Structure 1
């Protein structure tokens, strides 16, 4: 869907509300308290600015009222849904990532509002990423963020921020990706990441760092293949993972200028796009769905920077 068609479809608040309802309750509203489907739609006419408030569903059995936006990233936001939907469209269609200053100008909102909107969208991406685990052949390696060290060690001895990354392969082609910040590249930190990100029956492929061998044993993976840095085939073996890492560094250095305060969510945004690179026009609808399904109160990620 091009921008003109998108704007025509979602130019009215009511159109966005109806689409949000269809995303949240495709089979019809279901009361989150009692599970009843017997409900009516009401408008809080007794409240100030009632005409600008999203509609409510009132359960006819338990009488609980549920906002159309409750349990989504839009809940309690004073920004109209029309602007939220446009923001999601722009984020979904900008492969290089969109800066808060750009969104500020495009939507006509303040910089803090644009920044918060982007962060909420990234949290939705992160929550959706967390629902999946990599399987099959999975290559894992670590890399570092923070620019070049000045007179310090490089690689695993550096003081830069370590990241564990993994990519699944099918017939030699890249499938899915994950990236996670870690405090160090010891077994405890790396095992915590791999337990969340890969299935137990993978064929794990690494560069021989002892931590990965320990993790492979702890996870009881199907097989652990090692290609060391001294192996002539290393560059070819890990070409797709190396390329993904390189492109992420360009991604964060380009649009976000290498910022260090929110690295994990930037990685979640990058991997969300990477893992859906073949979705085409469907990416907008999928991102809308992720935003509609993300309850910020239950998310692993906080709205506060760096958490």
Structure 2
């Protein structure tokens, strides 16, 4: 759903409330405190009074919208803007689009990203599964003066990717994607994630990185591409899809957000994962609104 459609469909608070009630209750309100379906409605405030526990509630209780002071049309518009931004949308840009301050824009995004988090209900990955790792982080030359001085004082020469944050990606060919932040890129962290996420009947495709050694003993097949010898594909086996996604991810992280803390990195990855996994879903807006109505 584009921005114009969102504005036309949800022009005011009551239209948003009516839509959420239809999604969550299907015409039969249920008290979130005692689960009773006997209630009366206050038309002026769009709140319900439970006839069993006598508590007041609205459809927003238990959702990401609970306690918000921002009108729901702005929430819905924020969701539409985020879904339509292929490489992401900064909190500053979102705040300008919505007419709110930057902290409010960032708060909205983090709550929406929580709803984007995959609950793992899709089952194990099957078929051909591309597995690869990447590293996110700035250049050493851009580190703070204090950090660079500490390295000089301790004679530390960090090389390669040791100063960046590793992320593992699993991509089911023509299917789903999974991204996860990891402490270090080695077999002890990589292989358990692959084992937990992929069916043993699947074919794993990786490069020659040693952290993936031994996967052939667990899965039906493990195709290892020797990229040092410029072997980038072996018939239908390649990692081009996941590597293409890494390009999109880094353009978003560095181009839109510029800097993401380790504490919140997984939330940003959840956003990219959700949009990739729903790339062909014409009802993705309705799907995400439904998730926000059941997530707190």
State the match for 2:204 in structure 1: 204
Q: Any conservation in 1 of the 2:187–2:213 contact (CA below 8 Å)?
A: no
Tell whether 2:136 aligns with 1:132: no
Gaps of 5+ in 1: 44-50, 296-307
The 1:130/1:64 distance shift into structure 2, 3 A limit, reads farther
**Residue 194 (structure 1) shift:** 3.1
Tell whether 2:145 aligns with 1:154: no
The one-character-per-residue Cα deviations of 1:82-109 (angstroms, maximum 9, x if unpaired) are 1111111111122221111122122111
Whole-Å Cα distance in 2 between the matches of residues 102 and 267 of structure 1? 19
1:70 corresponds, among 61, 84, 99, to: 61
The 1:71/1:213 distance shift into structure 2, 3 A limit, reads farther
**Residue 122 (structure 1) shift:** 1.2
Tell whether 2:274 aligns with 1:268: no
Whole-Å Cα distance in 1 between the matches of residues 92 and 230 of structure 2? 45
Over the aligned positions, Cα root-mean-square deviation in angstroms equals 2.7
Aligned residues: 276
Q: Any conservation in 2 of the 1:200–1:222 contact (CA below 8 Å)?
A: yes
Whole-Å Cα distance in 2 between the matches of residues 120 and 154 of structure 1? 35
State the match for 2:18 in structure 1: 18
State the match for 2:290 in structure 1: 289
Whole-Å Cα distance in 1 between the matches of residues 189 and 55 of structure 2? 43
Tell whether 2:231 aligns with 1:225: no
**Residue 78 (structure 1) shift:** 0.9
Q: Any conservation in 2 of the 1:149–1:160 contact (CA below 8 Å)?
A: no
State the match for 1:88 in structure 2: 79
Q: TM-score, normalised by structure 2?
A: 0.81
Please give the secondary structure, in 2, of the residue aligned with 1:255: helix
Whole-Å Cα distance in 1 between the matches of residues 208 and 71 of structure 2? 52
**Residue 141 (structure 1) shift:** 1.3
Q: TM-score, normalised by structure 1?
A: 0.79
Whole-Å Cα distance in 1 between the matches of residues 200 and 39 of structure 2? 44
Q: Between the two structures, name the one with larger relative contact order (CA 8 Å, sep ≥ 6).
A: 2
1:159-238 to 2 correspondence within 5 Å?
159-169=163-173, 174-194=174-194, 197-214=197-214, 217=217, 220-230=218-228, 232-234=230-232, 237-238=238-239
